[in-house]
Amino acid sequence: MENNPISKKIKMDNNVADMAGIHENLVDLGRFECSEILKDDPTRKTTAVRATVKGSDEPAVVILEKTAFSEPNVKAIFSSATVVQKTFHNDIYGNYSGFPKQELNGLKITVIHPATEKHIEKWSAQESFLVNETPELYSSVLLDHLKESSFDVKWVYNILEHRRESERIVCEDPDPATGFVLLPDLKWDGHTLENLYLVAIVQRRDLTSIRDLRSQHLPLLRNIWRKGTEAIERRYGVPACRLRVYLHYQPSYYHLHVHFTSVRFEAPGTHVGKAHLLPEVISNVELLPDFYQRATLSYYVRAADPLADRFRRAGYNLQVESAPEAVQATEADSDGGS
C-alpha cells in the first residue's frame, strides 16, 4: 500500500491540511483573543499583536498594517461619502479626522499560527546592538547557532514543490542549479506599485545565506537578476532601474532568497547592517571568488536573540544600547512567511 501513488497523494494532502490549521477557514479576527501588543510602529502604521485562538492555548502573532494609498483609492476618498470631523483650525490651517467608506479603509493582516517563541521574539520591540562578524566568529558561533535556532523552512519547500502558493508565482526557472521561484512577498498586497515587494527563492537547498556564495554560484545570481527584473517589468511595468534588489544578512530564514522592492518603498530591512545589493554581491564574488568567506559582515542583533547570548559566551564584548530609530523600525522584517 505504501507504494500506491494515490495513497501517497492522500497522505501529502492530509499533511498540507494539518499545516494549514486556522488559515483554511479564517473569516474574521473574532477567532483570536489579544494578549499583548508586541510592537507598535507609528511611522510604518504597523502593529504586531500576540494573540491566542479562542478555546485553546495556541499562540499566534497577528500583524496589522494600514494599506498604502493608490491613485484610484485617493480619488474615491474625495467624495461626499468620506465624512470629516474637525479637530481644530488656526487661520488657513485645519486639522480633521476622516472616515472613508469601508472598502477604502482596509487593513493588511498577516497571521502567523501556530507561532513559536522565535516568532514572538522577532516581532517584539527590543534593543539592539551591532556585531562585526568575522569569518572566525561565523565558524565558531554562527554555524552552531544555525543548527539549533534557525526558523523552520518547510513553508519554503511547499512553494518550491507547488504544494502552496503556486497561483501566486510570477516567474519560475526549474533548473536545479540556477533556478528560482519569484512571487509576491507576504508584506505586499500584490497591486500597489509604490510598495512593490517580491522575493526570489532559489531551487537548490544547499545555500543558506551570502556566506555560502562562491564563484560557482555566479550563474545563479546573474540568472536571478536578469529573469527576475525582466519578469517584474513584464508583469508590473516596473523596470530594473526602479527596483532595489538585495539579500539580507542576517536573513530571517536560512534558505537563500533575494528581495525585489520598488525604490519608492522604504521596505523593512533596507538599511545598512541588513541589506546587500545583488549587483554588488555579484561584483564582490567576481573580484574575489571567496569574498564572503573572508569578509567581515556587520549586522544588528536584538538583545533577546539567543545569538546574543552565544556571542557573549564566546567572549564578544557587547554593550546593549538602543539602535537608531530607523533601525528599530525595521528589525522584524518577516521575509516571506518566517
Q: Which residues are catalytic?
A: 257
Q: Backbone phi, then psi, for 74, in 5-degree steps? A: -60, -45
State the CB neighbour count (10 A cutoff) for residue 43.
Answer: 10
Determine how β-strand 32-41 pairs with β-strand 171-173: unpaired
Listed residue (147, 177, 168, 134) closest to 298, CA to CA: 134
Which residue, 231, 230, 261, is CA-closest to 248?
261
| In the chain, alpha helices (H) | 5-20, 71-77, 117-122, 135-137, 143-149, 154-160, 218-236, 278-287, 291-294, 306-313, 325-328
Cell representation of residue 255: 534558505
What type of residue sits at position 230? E
| C-alpha span between 286 and 282 (Å, rounded) | 6
Q: Cell 522604504 maps to which residue?
A: 266
132 CB-contact burial (10 Å; exposed 0-12 / middle 13-18 / buried 19+): exposed
